[in-house]
Structure 1
Amino acid sequence: MTAVPVGALPTPAPPRARRPWAVISAAGFLGLVVLAAALAPLLAPYAPDAVDLSASLAGTGGDHLLGTDASGQDLLSRVLYGARTSLVAPLLLLLLAGVLGVALGTLAAWRGGWVDALVSRITDVMYAFPGLLFVVLIIAVFGAGITTSVIALGLAFAPTIAKYTRSVALGERSKPYIDAYRVQGMSGLRICVAHLVPNLARSVVGYLVVLFGEALMSLATLSYLGFGAQPPSSDWGLMVQEGQAAIVQGALLPALVPGTAIAAVVVAFNLVGVRAADRLGARR
């Protein structure tokens, strides 16, 4: 039997990775939503606050592709303009929560001792206190509005991010390069700002992406309850609340259109967020 040279053997092709069509579709959908929000003045057929009582609760048609609400306002135009608030507000919320949470989590992991215990007790108290009740209390003191809702929810989300940051920072703090910088005489603040926090960025950003859908849903809930965006805003949560009364008259579109938009964007962000978190965590 003649031996076959090793070089002559065919190299088996690596198994083809299954393409995440769901994630790709979700990312494409989110891209279209962001583009539509940015181009709302060009795409919307009507002004979002244009009232036409003669077209009250009109169904889908050539003049109104998605119908109208009780005031005759075009639902497509309102959804396009409302995407701006519904997408930007969660970003600002997570930015505020991220700054506070990362600062507290890094401080607790770096200092340890009584500082770590104090931060842990504060976050435990925040967890024990119902988040929605905490937000409602802040709104009751400072008044309803989208700005107050963003700040209140940012404070409510901060403990969760702080706990996650602390757990990741503890593992990063034990690595040899931290001791090397200490031996060089570098201050703890400089080490944290210049080296520790940047090395946590991938994990923290991935975690924030996962939280985006929850932040959007929380803001929509506050708007639905009357604590968030106020009329004549086109916020999606407020649109659901305003369209609820029309259901009794058999008109489902005023509540169904913005509700579907909220559900679709939240599901898409959850799909993309989990995938992004996995990839960012694998690359650390």
Structure 2
Amino acid sequence: MTLLQDSQPGRPSSDPRSPGRASGPRTAAEPAATRRRRSARRRKWPLSLWIASGFLALTALAALLASVISPYAPDAIDLGASLADPDANHLLGTDQSGRDLLSRVLHGAGPSLVAPLALLALASVVGIALGTVAAWHGGWVDALLSRVTDVMFAFPGLLFVILVVSVFGDGLTTAVVALALAYSPVVAKYTRSIALAERSKPYIDAYRVQGMSGTAICALRLVPNLAPQLLGYLVLMFGQVLMGMATLSYLGFGAQPPSSEWGLMVKEGQAALVQGALWPVIVPGTAIALVVVAFNIVGVRISDRLGARER
């Protein structure tokens, strides 16, 4: 009777050599293979990300080698070629003073990219410090810092920059510092939100039990663990910051002549529009737009990948 029951179809056999026992590893292996395929698809970069990353790399390389690859000096004046259309001598045309637009946009890539980078670095130092302190201490410290950042949010950033510039004078350095202080509350609020979630994890309590101070835990453990999410957020902010710096230069509060910063180039080329010349505005404006779009693509992809990793 026992033999008949063991030989019935549909019942698992007790013999380890039977085919029924071999199906277990296969079914366990199938989800693992599916996970590997899903992970491989997640790691695959889309074409738009390749294009955006390549464009940003070329832009950074052009900024570094501008003095080598530019056909003319950025401030070389040739009134005989004023507002010339693109040709063999001037691939992107010239401005009102006959300065080569290609040379100027290449030389302007440096200050146009370095200024937002310095701005984000300063805003990150202030914002990450405020957000981490607020999340770690909580209570009245968190409430006080939250109210301070709310007040700074309520005050328009452009008006704040104008106030700082009116006190300390215009210039690229003043604009960078003022705009960095205006962006610090944005970084602080984001840092606080992710630091609160990180602070509740068990490893924080483990370090406390070991006797580590709160400052050491935040500096050596908490903030480094927040770095990937902060990096994706800051990359996404870079395009917005670049637009902000270009706007300040356009309004006359940022870079000053004879700089070839892109926002200042748009301002200087505006007068050429009256004469029907579009290239002095189109060239720097297109450079700003392309860099902003490229940074947005890269930033969104980094944020999505970090979010998928968290899930």
TM-score by length of 1: 0.94
2:138 pairs with 1:103: no
Question: Deviation per CA, 1:168-225, whole angstroms, max 9, x where unpaired?
Answer: 0001111111111111111111111011111111111111000000000000000000
Picking from 192, 195, 206, the partner of 1:180 is 206
Question: In 2, are the aligned partners of 1:202 and 1:281 still within 8 Å (CA)?
Answer: no
1:226-241 aligned at under 5 Å gives the runs: 226-241=252-267
Q: Which has the higher contact order (CA 8 A, sep 6+)?
A: 1
Question: Which residue of the partner structure matches residue 56 of structure 2?
Answer: 30
Question: Which residue of the partner structure matches residue 153 of structure 2?
Answer: 127
Picking from 160, 168, 171, the partner of 2:186 is 160
Moved more, 171-180 or 19-28: 19-28
5+ long unaligned stretches in structure 1: none
Question: Which residue of the partner structure matches residue 4 of structure 2?
Answer: none
Q: Which runs of 4+ in 1 moved over 4 A?
A: 3-9, 11-16
Question: In 2, are the aligned partners of 1:75 and 1:257 still within 8 Å (CA)?
Answer: yes
2:277 pairs with 1:251: yes
Question: In 2, are the aligned partners of 1:135 and 1:153 still within 8 Å (CA)?
Answer: yes
SS in 2 for 1:244: helix
Question: In 2, are the aligned partners of 1:206 and 1:277 still within 8 Å (CA)?
Answer: yes
Amino acid at match of 1:109: A
2:109 pairs with 1:83: yes
1:37-52 aligned at under 5 Å gives the runs: 37-52=63-78
Amino acid at match of 1:67: G
Picking from 232, 236, 241, the partner of 1:206 is 232
Question: In 2, are the aligned partners of 1:209 and 1:277 still within 8 Å (CA)?
Answer: no
5+ long unaligned stretches in structure 2: 1-18
The percentage of aligned residue pairs carrying the same residue is 67
Question: Which structure's CA Rg is the greater one?
Answer: 2
| Corresponding pairs, count | 281
SS in 1 for 2:170: coil
1:146-157 aligned at under 5 Å gives the runs: 146-157=172-183
Question: Which residue of the partner structure matches residue 55 of structure 1?
Answer: 81
Q: CA RMSD in A?
A: 2.0
Amino acid at match of 1:255: V
Q: Distance in 2 between matches of 1:89 and 1:65?
A: 27
Picking from 144, 165, 173, the partner of 2:170 is 144
Q: Distance in 2 between matches of 1:282 and 1:96?
A: 29
